[in-house]
Amino acid sequence: MTTPIQASALRIGMFVHLNVGWMSHPFPLSSFKLTSNEQIETIRSLGLARLTWSPERSDVEQPVVETPAAVVQDSPPAVEETPKPLDARQLAKLALSAQMEVAQRCERQFTEACRDLRRTNDKVMADPAQANSDAQQLARALLDKMLIEGEPCLRVLGEMASDRHAAHSLNVTVVSLMLGRQLEVPAPVLMELGVGALMHDVGKIALPDRVRLAREDFNSGEAALYRDHVAQGLILGRRMGLSADAQLVIAQHHELADGSGFPSALMLPRMSLPARIVALVNRYDNLCNAASPAQSITPHEALSRLFAQCRSKFDETLLSGFIKMMGIYPPGSVVQLSDDRFAMVMTVNAVHPLKPRVLVYDAAVPPEDAIHLDLEKTPQLGIRRSLKPVQLPTRAVDYLKPRQRISYFFDVESTPREDEREEAVA
């Protein structure tokens, strides 16, 4: 239960709800417990009209209400009940509830970011300077939430109804920023990387839908029109007033380390670091989300192809870091466990890439109570092999719902903390 509160009445220990969009504030979550005066000052500076708090989830004492002495004497002393410990089934339901909450939050944030990116693209032609400002604001919002204490991880989302082209650019941006963060790229460079990644396909705005995504059946005219989106993107990037580094991402996101890319056939030394990152991630996303779903391959297959066939085309250091970050079985991969059960990888453990968190198909368990396993905590289980969705039994497909389009977002904390479990017990 939440209660309205004025920003002036906030105190450390309160569990607050900001009740605004994720991009409208600098905090990693919209609901959290206040732990510092700096947080309170930041919230007050936002001038929020809708602010609530949850007294039962807070450490702040409720206001004391004076009671007549006679009533106090007649009232029996309060007996403080010791909370009962949760059993294994209750803990499992708590963990599942936390996973569902995180998944829903990530999907809301992805949808909101896609909406903002689409609005930014809509301003490019009519108000390029404002489009630049909006792109920087979106990149900063993503970085503010990614560059916090803790280790963010990539999470595969459900089937998203967002604009396909905005989703592609956002996918590339999120994964590129995650890779840059892992490689300890300086924050100012990450900002340029973020803006460049968001705008890397801005030159496709005026293209017909058919030529916005590369196809094997392009005729020569369509292929030339598709390749020209890089030059058109540079024209629009200059009109927007994008920085030189962000423009390099637009100019070089189809260049390859061995000189086989386009439009300038650059070799690796002439490519900027942000452009190298975006070129790699862009290729991965295009493999997973091809123009035709029939041509798309699984995340595991995409990563294997990049490693086996494309090592000469990308910066080897970046490719190694990318594989480490995505894991042997990237989020969205369908796998068979060592006990023969089918599962789908949801998040990756960067420290133990062979031990991701998976959603398990179990016919005896209703989908709404589906089992989420952290393979790092179940040493007796492992992944036997990766599968294509068509290799799954029909019931497993209906249960796991393998993604036709792979969308990613980051999650700063994907498991309930001990203090949250204690709150739930109480």
For residue 46, the surrounding DSSP H or E stretch is helix 37-46
Cα three-residue angle 372-375-376, rounded to 5 degrees: 130
Query: 39 and 94 in one domain?
Result: no
Instruction: Give 329's Cβ-side CA count (13 Å radius).
Output: 26
pLDDT on residue 70: 43
Residue for token pair 């198909």: 361
Is there a domain that residue 421 lies in? Answer: no
Query: 245 and 212 in one domain?
Result: yes
CATH for 211: 1.10.3210.10
Which of 285, 309, 326 is the last residue in one of the domains? 326
Q: Which residue segment(s) compose the domain that 199 sits in? A: 88-326
pLDDT on residue 28: 66
Query: 341 and 240 in one domain?
Result: no
Query: 272 and 251 in one domain?
Result: yes
State how far the Cα of 89 lies from the Cα of 95, in Å rounded to an integer. 10
pLDDT on residue 422: 35
Is there a domain that residue 126 lies in? Answer: yes
pLDDT on residue 30: 76
Say if CB 296 and CB 288 are below 8 A apart.
Answer: yes
Give the orientation angle of helix 128-146 with respect to helix 164-182, to 10 degrees: 50
Query: 366 and 273 in one domain?
Result: no
Say if CB 148 and CB 406 are below 8 A apart.
Answer: no
Q: How is 158-179 classified by DSSP, letter by letter? A: ----S-HHHHHHHHHHHHHHHH
Query: 230 and 305 in one domain?
Result: yes
Query: 98 and 20 in one domain?
Result: no
Say if CB 203 and CB 229 are below 8 A apart.
Answer: yes
Is there a domain that residue 384 lies in? Answer: yes
Is there a domain that residue 414 lies in? Answer: no
Is there a domain that residue 416 lies in? Answer: no
Calculate the alpha carbon distances from 236 to 170, 360, 368 in Å. 19, 46, 47
Number of domains forming the structure of the chain: 3
Is there a domain that residue 77 lies in? Answer: no
Q: Is 49 helix (H, G, I), strand (E, B) or coil?
A: coil
- For the chain, which ranges sit under pLDDT 50? 63-73, 414-426
Query: 130 and 214 in one domain?
Result: yes
pLDDT on residue 72: 46
Q: List pLDDT tens digits, range 128-162.
A: 999 999 999 999 999 988 886 567 889 999 887 77
Say if CB 106 and CB 155 are below 8 A apart.
Answer: yes
Q: Are strands 15-17 and 31-33 parallel, antiparallel or unpaired?
A: antiparallel
Query: 32 and 128 in one domain?
Result: no
* CA-based nearest residue to 187, from 142, 236, 239: 142
Is there a domain that residue 76 lies in? Answer: no
Query: 238 and 169 in one domain?
Result: yes
Query: 348 and 250 in one domain?
Result: no
Say if CB 199 and CB 135 are below 8 A apart.
Answer: yes
373: β partners? 358
Is there a domain that residue 261 lies in? Answer: yes
pLDDT on residue 92: 67
Query: 254 and 363 in one domain?
Result: no
